[in-house]
């Protein structure tokens, strides 16, 4: 990433009432789960992916943004999210956008083969998912952006240059002092060249309005998506997962 700090997109439109954005996000409902890219349905509505290291807080962030306790499966155990989970958004049951919760990377206890498989799935997803409109990279500011995050930034850079929206979200901000938070934010802004960086806390609901407004804006300003290939073959049914995700008790 280059080191420019200027955001690729304007700041969230202040005219969009946060309440409207929250109401829209609250419509989120489970759409599908896919262990591999080929099982994802081709869609023409904008999709926003939540990516980052294991335990960064992706699933919790989706639950907080949608004001739903157990939409995405959050857990103290890293590696809880094993498949790409899609959630539809839109009033009156009409889907106008999709959120994607992706499995985290960088969890040491995962066998090497599984790690490599997942890295392939994720890089393919980020490079080829046609309706991908935005990427939210979640990062625990106590760790900062790690080498794996940098690899991810490299993967999406060409698409960011073509208009893919991008946000670095520093999660668990409640664990930092104000000075630490400001320092982490400055560093992340430098690293997120071409994108924005924001502080977020699911616990304290910090950054919630801003992120909700930003996602709304990404979706409302998305260009019309037409799929490159008219795919008339139905999406294959994924095999039953060996160990299905279950909400934490
Ligand atoms: N203090 C604090 N804890 C948080 C916050 N967000 C998430 N957590 C905790 O961090 C842990 C991991 O959260 P998840 O949302 O499951 O993380 P994930 O990124 O989805 O993890 P994987 O699915 O393994 O990739 C859980 O114990 C959460 O309660 C936050 O804003 N503040
Ligand atoms: Mg998760």
Could you give the C-alpha distances from 105 to 43, 52, 119, 154, 158, in angstroms and in order? 25, 7, 8, 15, 21
Which of the four pLDDT bands, split at 50, 70 and 90, describes residue 90? very high
Residues with CB under 6 A from ligand 1: 52, 54-60, 74-76, 78-81, 103-104, 171-172, 174-175, 201-203
CATH 3.40.50.300 fits 18-220, yes or no: yes
pTM above 0.95, yes or no: no
The ligand placed nearest to the CA atom of residue 63 is 1
Q: Give per-residue pLDDT as tens, 7-34.
A: 444 444 445 799 999 999 999 999 999 9
Taking the domains of the chain in order of start, what are their residue ranges?
A: 18-220
Ligand 1 atom with minimal separation from the 77 CA: 24
Q: What integer pLDDT is reported at residue 194 of this predicted model?
A: 64
- CA–CA–CA angle 191, 194, 199 (5° rounding): 60
The verdict on ipTM greater than 0.95 is yes
- Residue nearest atom 23 in ligand 1 by C-alpha distance: 81
Residue 15 alpha carbon to ligand 1 centre in Å = 31
Summarize pLDDT for 97-153 with one digit per residue, the tens. Answer: 999 999 888 877 777 887 788 888 888 999 999 999 999 999 999 999 988 899 999
């Amino acid at each position: 990433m280059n080191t420019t700090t200027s955001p690729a997109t304007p700041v969230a439109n202040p005219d969009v009432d946060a309440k409207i954005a929250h109401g829209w996000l609250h419509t989120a409902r489970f759409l599908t789960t896919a262990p591999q890219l080929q099982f994802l349905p081709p869609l023409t509505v904008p999709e926003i992916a939540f990516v980052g290291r294991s335990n960064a807080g992706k699933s919790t962030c989706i639950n907080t943004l949608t004001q739903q306790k157990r939409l995405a499966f959050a857990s103290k155990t890293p590696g809880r999210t094993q498949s790409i989970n899609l959630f539809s958004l839109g009033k009156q049951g009409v889907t106008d956008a999709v959120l994607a919760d992706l499995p985290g990377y960088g969890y040491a206890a995962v066998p090497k083969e599984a790690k490599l498989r997942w890295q392939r799935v994720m890089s393919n997803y980020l490079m080829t998912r046609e309706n991908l409109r935005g990427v939210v990279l979640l990062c625990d500011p106590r760790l900062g952006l790690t080498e794996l995050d940098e690899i991810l930034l490299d993967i999406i850079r060409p698409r960011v240059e073509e208009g893919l929206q991008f946000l670095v979200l520093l999660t668990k901000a409640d664990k930092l002092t104000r000075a630490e938070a400001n320092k982490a934010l400055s560093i992340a802004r430098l690293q997120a060249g071409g994108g924005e960086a924001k502080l977020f806390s699911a616990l304290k609901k910090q950054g919630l309005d801003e992120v909700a407004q930003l996602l709304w804006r990404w979706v409302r300003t998305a260009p019309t998506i037409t799929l490159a290939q008219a795919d008339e073959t139905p999406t294959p049914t994924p095999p039953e997962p060996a160990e299905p995700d279950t909400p934490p008790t």
